[in-house]
Amino acid sequence: MRLRTGLLLMALGAAAPLQAQVYLAPNAGLAFGGDTNDDAKVSYGGTLTFAGESHMLGFAVDYAYTPDFFAGNLTDNNVNTLMGNLVLISHGRTRLYGSIGLGLMKTRVRDVNQFFNVDSNELGLGAGGGLIFAPGRFGFQADVRYFQNLTDPEPDNEFDVDLGSFSFWRASGGLVIRF
């Protein structure tokens, strides 16, 4: 029994450590299409990506804040997205990726007279792709994503999900720091 335990511990100690790449990418970009009324809006945020060195599967957390998202006579309006994404990513210095995820889509709208006030938290879907170029510790990331809210079509105590009516695209880019 001791011999087996010793052999197992030696085999585990000799195994190659799990190599992972972590990319932190603060970014800025534009939200466009969908409910932006074809008027591009400045958006900024960041992405934290965990990618295996020898695996094509990874995970990312993406956050973006878009102030003044809605047109009209509104004093305070914005959209926040916070998504957890499953990432399919290539190998090498330039890593192409596609991602899909779920998370929070938060919209806030107030009019000038403070009469109209909406503060909404909804489940959202995000999908897109891009590239990470990080030959050393620093590089850049370029990304395009589509966002759409998800709704419950029939509030009947059953978990039903349907595509909602709120959507937009976001293109962003920024510096990448690789850990």
Tens-digit pLDDT profile for residues 44-76: 999 999 998 777 999 999 999 999 998 766 678
Question: CA-to-CA distance for 32 and 2, rounded, in angstroms?
Answer: 64
**Measured CA distances, 73 to 42, 77, 80, 133, 169 (Å):** 18, 10, 20, 41, 23
Tell whether 46 is covered by a domain. yes
In a domain, 14, yes or no: no
Summary mean pLDDT of the chain: 87
- On whether residue 120 sits in a domain, the answer given is yes
Higher pLDDT, 2 or 161: 161
Amino acid identity at 5:
T
Q: Is residue 2 part of a domain?
A: no
Q: Domain for residue 139, yes or no?
A: yes
pTM: 0.84
Please answer whether residues 23 and 45 qualify as being in contact, where contact means their C-beta atoms are separated by less than 8 angstroms: no
Closest by CA to 167, choosing from 97, 101, 107, 98, is: 107
More confident residue, 64 or 18: 64
Residues ≥6 apart with Cβ < 8 Å to 137: 177, 178
CA pair distance 18, 14, nearest whole angstrom: 12
The confidence score (pLDDT) of residue 37 equals: 78
Percent residues over pLDDT 90 in the chain = 63
How many domains does the structure of the chain reveal? 1
Phi, psi of 8 (to 5 degrees): -65, -45
Contact 58, 81 (CB under 8 A): no
* CATH number for the domain that contains residue 83: 2.40.160.20
- Determine the structural domain holding residue 89 and report its residue range: 21-178
Q: How far apart are CA 24 and CA 176, in angstroms?
A: 6
Q: Is residue 16 part of a domain?
A: no
Residue 164 lies in a domain: yes
CB 60 within 8 A of CB 48: yes
